[in-house]
């Protein structure tokens, strides 16, 4: 086991390169199950989740390797296996993204039910309902989802759920629809940049998808998809995390590669707090006023404020001059970081899906335990500004979604080290 040891109080200054988006790379990797010939993906981050997807795809007959320049090469060599086993799905929820491609290309998919996680239950009923609408037969056996279809037929599918549209369900059904016969219309589809990136990849392979980036996506089925070269979109959640890192340390950082158009809701909230955000030639420049204003924020599907930056914003608001409120409408149980931030001197109380944050003058270093990926990032941010030393345990969570985060932060002045327990 490893932990991060952070000595707080250093003002961050310099440039950080933003990596490719994990949440775009994983479904695009899964989509290569649909493709004939070789696919070459650029800007794929080197993360624990990406490595797990490589293992899963290898089990499903895909040859995967990275060249000396970091590009990932993928080619399907064996289509016999269509079973994503519990051993892998339990380690990475995005494994369910192979369901649609396997069904469309191999006429069957057997995928272990992913179950819940630290941020709450995340059911896959929308995935199954969408694939059933395309003509799949579904059954549940021994904890596995079994889907079969000799032929998928285009249709109209509604993908709205209790907390809005589902990104992974949109990805799964959209991928399956590329090889369905006829036209498929996805209503209440997710609009996230990662869905746009997946659609652009599929279109480069020969798919006919329009409307991506809106709640209504149309897919005209084609007979086959062929390999292509594609560059993965920059990670807006990593960029947002480093925006807040610059703000919380009263720093001055440039986020190279970050796209302002993907971060409008985040930029709006941060500017109201007192963060200075400017579009630069190579990305986004961030600096901060010394006095932070309290704000209210509500997480929503894109283009609203992302749930994946809720914990990080909460950390910043711990130091605002007044009371702030954050309401979580995507995953109402996503507040496990509250107790750990309070251990560092924060004053946060939870009332249902809302956290009320009373600003304090300072945070104090302490040993803390990460509960999930984004909570890990929040605790690292707290450590950057806390007085004294903070030890963040269970860093395997952060390795799932941030590429060499300690190296990137150290490169702009943070005092942070990865150490063995």
Residue-wise pLDDT for 224-235, tens only, equals 999 999 999 999
| 137 and 94, same domain (yes or no) | yes
What is the residue range of 307's domain?
Answer: 2-19+234-420
User: Is the pLDDT score of 118 beyond 70?
Assistant: no
Tokens at 150, concatenated: 């000799």
Q: How far apart are CA 170 and CA 173, in angstroms?
A: 5
| 139 and 258, same domain (yes or no) | no
| 157 and 250, same domain (yes or no) | no
CATH number for 94: 3.65.10.10
At 121 the pLDDT is 46
pLDDT band at residue 119, thresholds of 50, 70 and 90?
very low
At 374 the pLDDT is 92
Residue-wise pLDDT for 305-348, tens only, equals 999 999 999 999 999 999 999 999 998 889 999 999 999 999 99
User: Is the pLDDT score of 120 beyond 70?
Assistant: no
User: How many domains are contained in the chain?
Assistant: 2
pLDDT band at residue 88, thresholds of 50, 70 and 90?
confident
| 71 and 134, same domain (yes or no) | yes
pLDDT band at residue 247, thresholds of 50, 70 and 90?
very high
At 60 the pLDDT is 98
| 361 and 266, same domain (yes or no) | yes
User: Is the pLDDT score of 261 beyond 70?
Assistant: yes
Distance of CA 136 to the CA centre of its chain: 28
User: Is the pLDDT score of 382 beyond 50?
Assistant: yes
Q: Which long-range contacts (CB under 8 A, 24 or more apart) does 276-279 make?
A: 277/243
Q: Nearest 5 degrees, angle CA 22-CA 340-CA 247?
A: 60
Where does a domain end: 175, 197, 231? 231
| 11 and 64, same domain (yes or no) | no
Q: How far apart are CA 175 and CA 205, in angstroms?
A: 12
pLDDT band at residue 379, thresholds of 50, 70 and 90?
very high
Where does a domain end: 231, 264, 299? 231
At 122 the pLDDT is 53
| 53 and 147, same domain (yes or no) | yes
Tokens at 278, concatenated: 């400017």
Residue-wise pLDDT for 26-60, tens only, equals 999 999 999 999 999 999 999 999 999 999 999 99
| 238 and 227, same domain (yes or no) | no
| 88 and 129, same domain (yes or no) | yes
Where does a domain end: 187, 213, 231? 231
| 58 and 131, same domain (yes or no) | yes
Catalytically active residues are 117
| 114 and 200, same domain (yes or no) | yes
| 270 and 372, same domain (yes or no) | yes
Q: How far apart are CA 18 and CA 21, in angstroms?
A: 9
What does the CA dihedral 335, 339, 345, 346 come to, rounded to 10 degrees?
Answer: 20
Q: How far apart are CA 420 and CA 5, in angstroms?
A: 10
At 117 the pLDDT is 47
The Cβ-side half-sphere exposure at 85, using a 13 Å CA radius, reads 7
Average pLDDT over residues 239-243: 98
The Cβ-side half-sphere exposure at 72, using a 13 Å CA radius, reads 25
**b/e 352-366 (16+ beta carbons within 10 angstroms → b):** ebbbebebbeebbbb
**Which of 23-27, 93-97, 301-305 comes out lowest in average pLDDT?**
93-97
pLDDT band at residue 289, thresholds of 50, 70 and 90?
confident
Residue-wise pLDDT for 397-420, tens only, equals 999 999 999 999 999 999 999 999
At 246 the pLDDT is 97
Residue-wise pLDDT for 130-187, tens only, equals 999 999 999 998 889 999 999 999 999 999 988 788 999 999 999 999 999 999 999 9
Are 325 and 296 in contact by the 8 Å Cβ rule? The answer is yes
pLDDT band at residue 215, thresholds of 50, 70 and 90?
very high
Q: How far apart are CA 13 and CA 324, in angstroms?
A: 27
């Amino acid at each position: 086991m490893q932990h991060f040891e952070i000595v707080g109080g250093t003002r961050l200054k310099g440039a950080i390169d933003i990596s490719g988006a994990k949440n775009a790379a994983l479904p695009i990797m899964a989509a290569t199950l649909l493709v004939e010939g070789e696919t070459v993906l650029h800007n794929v981050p080197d993360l624990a989740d990406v490595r797990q997807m490589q293992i899963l795809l290898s089990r499903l007959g895909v040859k995967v390797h990275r060249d000396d320049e970091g590009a990932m090469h993928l080619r399907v060599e064996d289509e016999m296996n269509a079973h994503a086993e519990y051993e892998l799905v339990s380690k990475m929820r995005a494994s369910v993204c192979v369901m649609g491609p396997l069904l469309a290309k191999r006429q069957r998919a057997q995928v272990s039910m992913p179950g819940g996680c630290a941020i709450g239950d995340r059911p896959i009923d929308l995935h199954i309902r969408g694939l059933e609408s395309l003509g799949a037969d579904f059954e549940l056996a021994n904890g596995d989802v079994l889907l079969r279809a000799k032929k998928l037929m285009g249709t109209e599918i509604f993908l709205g759920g209790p907390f809005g549209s589902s990104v992974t369900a949109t990805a799964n059904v959209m991928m399956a629809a590329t090889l369905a016969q006829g036209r498929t219309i996805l209503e209440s589809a997710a609009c996230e940049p990662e869905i746009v990136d997946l659609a652009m990849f599929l279109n480069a392979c020969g798919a006919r998808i329009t409307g991506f980036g809106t709640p209504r996506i149309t897919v005209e089925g084609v007979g086959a998809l062929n390999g292509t070269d594609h560059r993965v979109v920059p990670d807006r959640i990593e960029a947002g995390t480093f925006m807040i890192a610059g703000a919380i340390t009263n720093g001055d950082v440039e986020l190279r590669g970050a796209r302002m158009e993907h971060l409008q809701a985040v930029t709006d909230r941060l500017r109201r707090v007192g963060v200075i955000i400017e579009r630069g030639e190579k990305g986004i420049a961030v600096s901060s006023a010394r006095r932070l204003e309290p704000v209210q924020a509500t997480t929503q599907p894109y283009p609203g404020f992302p749930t994946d930056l809720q914990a990080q914003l909460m950390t910043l608001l711990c130091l605002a001059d007044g009371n702030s409120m954050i309401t979580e409408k995507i995953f109402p149980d996503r507040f496990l970081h509250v107790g750990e931030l309070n251990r560092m001197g924060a004053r946060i109380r939870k009332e249902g899906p809302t956290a009320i944050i009373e600003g304090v003058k300072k945070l104090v270093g302490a040993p803390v335990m990460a509960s999930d990926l984004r909570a890990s990032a929040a605790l690292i941010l707290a450590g950057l500004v806390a007085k004294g030393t903070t030890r963040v345990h269970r860093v395997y969570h952060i390795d799932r979604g941030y590429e060499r985060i300690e190296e990137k932060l150290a490169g702009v002045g943070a005092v942070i080290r990865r150490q063995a327990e």
